[in-house]
Structure 1
Amino acid sequence: MIPSKIFFTKGVGVHKDLLASFETALRDASIEKYNIVMVSSIFPPGCNILTKEEGLKYLKPGQIVYSIMAKNQTNEPNRLISAAVGLAIPSGNNHYGYLSEYHAFDMNEKETGDYAEDLAATMLATTLGIEFDPSIAWDERKDIYRASGRIFNSMNICKSAYGDKNHLWTTVIAAAIFII
């Protein structure tokens, strides 16, 4: 089983029960009706990225789907939470790429998303043998990766939210959903 397509989605949910807040986040992301199996972080060679709307057309309620998912939850009022999935795609269609999941407290969407994207690109760069200084900023490393000609693209999807002021559970998710 090698996925041929993938789409990205994100959501937030708030509820008095932890599990129900997760379900509500899945619903917000339009993936609540599937049986989601978490997998590790390899982006298959030649996998096509679809929009969420296009990807959902391939799925049926109750179907088992494979996902890279980041999740974060809190019941602390006004606590900033975030969850992101990063992607790094190599040049050409003959090498695999990387997906990463990252969740954080007190980081905004841009910071969390950039971190997840950096993780995926760094994993790919080390696999491809691209030399870089890990202490330099992500924006500088991104330029080095792209200049190498071996990393074609990178991206992320992220969701953040502040914890509910009345101590209800708040859940954020970001997910990459594989289609086989």
Structure 2
Amino acid sequence: MMVPRRVFFTGGVGVHKDRLASFEAALRSAGIEMFNIVNVSSIFPPNCIEISREEGLSMLKPGEIVYTVMARNDTNEPNRLMSAAIGLAVPEEKNHYGYLSEHHSYGETQLQAGEYAEDLAATMLATTLGIEFDPDTAWQEREQIYKASGKIIKTSHICTSEKGDPDGRWTTVLAAAVFVM
């Protein structure tokens, strides 16, 4: 059974005249360009431990198949604001799974996109834990309800935001949760 034991979060920005090369530059900026990346859905494994990017990278080898939850966005429109964010929600119960979420947006600030991704992850987890809430209330209010329930111990996010290159070169942003087996 392949269940990740550790995860680290990273983000990056790349700029290049070619779209693919811009993505490669963003992977380099994030420190994960040397891996064979497989995108997976958004379940945060039970008992998974968050580690630093540096520690996680030291545990991986170039060419290794690495599972990630990745948010990615790109543009060649000058000065267009874009973001890529990953949200995390971890339950109090250690043997229960949590959630990761991906959010890609244009026109949102880093904080707006990051909080949206965090809200998505927390809402998905809350629905599986039976926490009652009004989905139309603001994130800050729901966050307090989720944490007051005692069933969600942690929510967080990572977000990369950037404006498109002023000369119209491709600009890519990414955020990733990288699993270590």
TM-score bracket, normalised by the shorter chain, equals: over 0.9
C-alpha deviation, 1:94, in angstroms: 1.1
1:85 maps to 86
Matched, 1:9 2:13: no
Could you tell me which runs of 5 or more consecutive residues in structure 2 were left unpaired when the two chains were aligned: none
1:59 maps to 60
Runs of 4+ in 1 over 6 A off after TM superposition: none
Matched, 1:144 2:122: no
C-alpha deviation, 1:135, in angstroms: 0.4
Looking at structure 1, the residues matched to 109 and 65 of structure 2 have their Cα atoms a distance apart, in angstroms, of 32
SS for the counterpart of 2:147 is helix
Matched, 1:96 2:97: yes
Letter in 1 for 2:47: G
Looking at structure 1, the residues matched to 98 and 173 of structure 2 have their Cα atoms a distance apart, in angstroms, of 25
Aligned residues: 180
SS for the counterpart of 1:27 is helix
Deviations 1:37-78 (A, max 9, x none): 000000011000001001111100000000000000000000
TM-score normalised according to structure 2 size: 0.99
Looking at structure 1, the residues matched to 125 and 44 of structure 2 have their Cα atoms a distance apart, in angstroms, of 10
CA RMSD in angstroms, aligned pairs only? 0.4
1:76 maps to 77
Matched, 1:118 2:128: no
Could you tell me which runs of 5 or more consecutive residues in structure 1 were left unpaired when the two chains were aligned: none
Letter in 1 for 2:171: T
Identity, in percent, stands at 64
